[in-house]
């Protein structure tokens, strides 16, 4: 299935990040043809029944059009604000493309920054994609709960899963790593994981033992 991204992220030479939405509705407006018809009819002080019906019809549709245009502009504004905060929160990832750079981030974190309800943000990030120079990602995949390291700093659980994936990808296939081996390697990086947790992540990643 071909994915059409909703956002494009750009990086300048000085590591400044910017983004744009896919699709520009800034010039969305009502047809002047119908507005001119309405203007011409209302000039006539003695309107017949057909003209009155036409005026009523155009006014009704014009009001619907104004509502639709306002709704589209508000949606764009909401998406812009949300993406701006995600971009700032996950700046290290968007600069490097390294999934291990993903910070722990939940909807509440972005809700506090934007002032939007969590339910609103949940709808926003659902089925939305962002294209970067490192690939195209689901917005919701940038969210992850935290796991505390020995120094008290949180790290994204997805980062841990990426570490496990990288260890498996680079292991000696003639002497594959056991869960205990992976546990020991990751724990040397300052994380306190049980072997059971490693096994759970291996299962989530569909990596055979």
Q: What is the pLDDT of residues 159-201, one digit of tens each?
A: 777 788 888 888 888 888 888 888 888 778 777 777 777 777 7
pLDDT at 32: 82
Q: What percent of the chain has pLDDT over 70?
A: 89
Q: Check whether 127 has a pLDDT greater than 70.
A: yes
| pLDDT tens by residue, 16-72 | 899 999 876 767 888 888 788 878 877 777 778 888 888 888 888 888 888 998 988
Q: What is the largest CA-CA distance in the chain?
A: 93
Q: Which two tokens stand for residue 131?
A: 């294209």
Q: Check whether 152 has a pLDDT greater than 50.
A: no
CA-angle at 14, arms to 12 and 18, nearest 5° = 40
Could you give the CA distance from residue 6 to residue 128 in angstroms, rounded to a whole number? 6
Residue 27 CB coordination number (10 Å) = 5
Q: Where are the beta strands (DSSP E) in 91-158?
A: 129-132, 135-138, 146-148, 154-156
The answer to whether the pTM exceeds 0.75 is no
| Sign of the dihedral through C-alpha 146, 147, 151, 152 | positive
pLDDT at 153: 52
Q: How far is CA 20 from CA 68, 131, 169, in A?
A: 22, 10, 35
Q: Check whether 130 has a pLDDT greater than 90.
A: yes
pLDDT at 116: 93
pLDDT at 161: 77
Residue scoring higher pLDDT (145 or 76): 76
The closest alpha carbon to 147, from 112, 83, 198, 204, belongs to 198
Q: Torsion angle of alpha carbons 140, 145, 149, 152, nearest 10°?
A: 110
Q: Torsion angle of alpha carbons 116, 119, 125, 128, nearest 10°?
A: -120
Query: What is the chain's mean pLDDT, rounded?
Result: 83
Q: How many CA atoms lie within 13 A of 64 on its CB side?
A: 6
């Amino acid at each position: 299935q071909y994915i059409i991204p909703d956002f494009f992220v750009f990086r300048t030479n000085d590591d400044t990040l910017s983004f744009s939405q896919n699709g520009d509705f800034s010039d969305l407006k009502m047809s002047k043809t119908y507005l001119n018809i309405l203007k011409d009819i209302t000039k006539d002080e003695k309107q017949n029944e057909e003209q009155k019906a036409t005026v009523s019809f155009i006014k009704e549709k014009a009001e619907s059009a104004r509502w639709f245009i306002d709704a589209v502009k508000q949606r764009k504004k909401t998406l812009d604000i949300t993406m701006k905060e995600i971009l700032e929160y996950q700046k290290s990832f968007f600069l490097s493309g390294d999934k291990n750079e993903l910070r722990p981030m939940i909807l509440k974190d972005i809700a506090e920054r934007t002032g939007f309800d969590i339910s609103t943000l949940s709808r926003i990030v659902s089925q939305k994609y962002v294209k970067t120079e490192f690939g195209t990602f689901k917005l919701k995949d940038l969210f992850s709960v935290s796991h505390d390291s020995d120094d008290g700093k949180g790290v994204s659980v997805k980062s841990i899963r990426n570490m496990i994936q990288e260890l498996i990808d680079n292991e000696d296939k003639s002497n594959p790593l056991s869960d205990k081996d992976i546990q020991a390697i990751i724990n040397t990086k300052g994380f306190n994981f049980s072997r059971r947790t490693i096994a759970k992540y291996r299962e989530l990643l569909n990596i055979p033992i």
